[in-house]
Structure 1
């Protein structure tokens, strides 16, 4: 019966399905609508997250938020609206991952010249600086060698151990450690050359 119930909605336009969903708030209707563009959403997510499983998870997370977003907003052209929503959700999720990465990346540094107890007087840094650091980080990752980029992402973003990285990539343990260390150094140099000082990148974590 559920199949027969939903089958009659398959040929409805996006606008008609949206109207039906707003009236009935039936998730089956929203599922029909979302399914039409799921492949496009997946492709967009894959562009941002690279890993297939992460992209699939993001597709489901977007769907879970879809009902509330539709009820809260006036949607006139679903396809373009969904694209913007999916892009924003990907960026927010990626930004959150990169924030965690930045925190662990800089606090894991071998540089002992920083006095952590002296951070307090810099916690008024503007949120704009946080965004600039994250955008610069994303660009910096792209200039690393493929080996460094892979190991940095796996270690900091995916929380993989050295051993797990060895097993996933086939690299020797010594190579993995070297790629991570050299990648960190190269990324720090890149960010500092582009006007973002090491000290500010560490300090902004106190205001997030």
Structure 2
């Protein structure tokens, strides 16, 4: 059996059994998703990297406490989400304004690829204008394709609250997208 064929539980058993190097398997599996979740909250690439790294450190240190009632990925995303929210609150406390200067790069040259990049740009702009909880809920549900139950575990919301949040977030997203597209049309 290769390393990639090991389940998360098998990797966790190895780590808890004294093979701490095996934790790198979990890091490799979930680093991109953890970073994306942190980025959706922090809106800064460097800060998101730091948050993701801190989340993995916390997960490693608390691995004995992981009860395996949920998937490891869900538990990790919950740690990442909470770490990002805490850091974002501290950040907002010390600075009244934050500027997002990470431009969306349009690299692809074919028409279809440009259209996809343009759509992504507008969606990311709209997500950026939503509050953190709406942004995270929509991102996890639509972009990361997590189940409602997994999102509840990550965010700490009840299922009914999450359903209402997703419903309202979709409406807010539609309004924001409509405003962005109107503005874009005026600039043509």
Q: TM-score range by the shorter chain?
A: 0.3 to 0.5
What TM-score do you get using the length of structure 1 for normalisation? 0.43
The structure with the larger Rg is 1
